[in-house]
Amino acid sequence: MSGQVLQILLFLPFLLLVWFLWKLLRPRNQHSLRSVAILVLGDIGRSPRMMYHAQSFAENGFVTDLIGYGGSKPIPSLERLPRVRMRHLPELPRIFHSLPFLLTAPIKVLYQIISILLCLLVWIDIPPEFILVQNPPSIPTLALVQLVGRIHGSKVIIDWHNLGYSILALKLGKAHPLVRIAAWLEATFGRFAYAHLFVTRAMRDFLVKKWDIQGHKVVLYDRPPHHFHRSSAQETHELFCKLQQKLILETKIRDFLPTASIPFSTVMTQISERDSPDTGSPSLSTYSEVLMPTSRSDRPALIVSSTSWTPDEDFSILLDALQIYDTQAQDLANKRQSKERLPKLLLHETWKWVRCVSLWLEAEDYPTLLGSADLGVCLHDSSSALDLPMKVVDMFGCGLPVCALAFECLDELVKNGENGLIFQSASELASQLEQLLLSFPNAPALRTLRASLDSMSRPSRQNEIWTWGTWEENWDRVIKPLILSDVHS
C-alpha cells in the first residue's frame, strides 16, 4: 500500500510537468493587440507607479492584466476600470517560513518562477501585445519576461525604477560576489527590450554608457495623478474627524494638541457660527447660520514624512533635527517672556514643542493628508544615486513644499530654494525648519516657497527640461507614441 502511495506521489509531479509543457508548447493564437501584462513582484497596492501605468493603459483601450501580490488595497480608480484584471500571485506557503534561510531562499525563488510562468503562459490565455516589468526586483523577473516575450512575440518594456544590484549592495557591500552576480544578471537580461523607461535622465545616461542598453529609451518622470491637489479646509476637516481617535491614543499627544469637538472642530480646523470666533464647539444652530470649516489659528504645524521602511531611508536624521529644533525652541521660549505662539510640530515623546504620530492611511486619505500638511520631509538616499523619491512627487502634486536629503541627481526634481530646500545633515534640516516655520501660522518663508512651487507646477515654454503636469499628461506625451502607432500625441 505504501509503495502505491509513493508511486502516485512521484507520478503527480510528472503529470503536472506534462500538462504544463503541453500548455506551453501547444499552438497559440497571435498575441492580442491592445493588451498588456504588467508584472510587479511585490504588493500591487504599494506600487503606485505600476498602478498608474495600468490605469493609463486601460484608459487607452488596452486589456490590462496587473500581476503581483495582494495585501494592500489598490487605488479606487483602478478597481473601477473593467479592462483591468488583477492577477494575484500565490504567497509561499507558511510551512516553508520555519526553514533556515539557506533553504527558504532557493525555494522561494523557484516558487516565484513557477507562479510567474503559470500566470504569463497559462492563466492569461491570449498572449499580450506588451509585457511591462518593474525593475527592481531583477531576479527572477527580467529573465522570465524575456523568455515569455520570445515564446509569445510580446514586446518587453522595462520600467527602470532603480538598480537591483545597488539595493543588494546596501546589505552585502559592493564587492560581495552575490552583488556582482546580481549585476551581471541584471545587465544580461535588462540590456535588450522593445523599450526602456527611466525615472531620471541620470539613470538613462548611466545605463546607456555602462550596459549599452538597446531599444527605445525614454525618461518617464514620476508625476502625481490628476486628483492630487492642495486640500480645502473642508477636506482637511473631514480627514481629521476620521483620524481623531488615532491622534489622541497617547496622553502626551492628546495634551499637546488643541481641544477638538467632533464634528464641530478638529485639531486643525473649526466650524464657527457667523458671530462667534470661539475655537470650541458652537451651540446648535440652523444650517444657514453655520460657516464652512476654516483653519484654526492655534493649530500645530504639520510636517509629513512618507516612508516605505527601506534601507535607503535614515530616520535618525529627522529625529536628530527635531531634537535640535526642540532645544532651540525651548531656549527661545525661555528668552522671550511673551505671549507669542511658537511653532509646533507633530512628533515625539519627552520633547516640549514636538510630537510624533505614526499613521497607516487608506489610499484615498494619503493625498488629503499631504494636501493638508505644511511641510514635507524626504529622507530618501538613493542606493544608486540615479532614482528619485516618488514621495516628493506626491507632495509636490498636493502643493506641499519639501525639505529633502541631498544626493547626486535630486536636482532633476527638487530645485533648491524654488520648490523646496535641500539639506545634508540633521543640523541643516533643523535650521531649515526654524526658517520655514518662523511666525507660524503666517510663516512668510513657507508661504514664499509654496508660491514658488505653485508657479513651477504650471506649464512653461521657457523651461523645456522642467516639464511638470500630471501623470496622465506626462504618460500621454511619452508613452503613447511607443505603444499606439496610430495615435499621435
Q: What is the pLDDT of residues 28-38, one digit of tens each?
A: 555 678 999 99
Q: Report the C-alpha gap between 169 and 182 in whole angstroms.
A: 10
**N- to C-terminal Cα distance for the chain?**
69
Specify the pLDDT at position 77. Answer: 87
CB 319 within 8 A of CB 348: yes
The string of pLDDT tens digits covering residues 158-193 is 999 999 999 888 888 889 988 999 999 999 999 999
Which residues are CB-contacts of 220 (< 8 A; sequence separation ≥ 6)? 159, 197, 198, 199, 474, 475, 478, 479
R_g over Cα of the chain? 26
For residues 235, 237, 242, 244, the Cα torsion angle rounded to the nearest 10 degrees is 150
Q: Report the C-alpha gap between 271 and 280 in whole angstroms.
A: 9
- Residue 40's SS3 state is strand
Specify the pLDDT at position 99. Answer: 82
Q: Report the C-alpha gap between 442 and 374 in whole angstroms.
A: 11
pTM of the model: 0.78
Q: Which of 162, 123, 127 is nearest to 148 (CA)?
A: 127
Residue 64: pLDDT over 60: yes
Specify the pLDDT at position 310. Answer: 67
Residue 220: pLDDT over 90: yes
With cut-offs at 50, 70 and 90, classify the pLDDT of residue 457: low
* DSSP notation for 121-156: IIIS-SPEEEEEEEES--TTHHHHHHHHHHHHTPEE
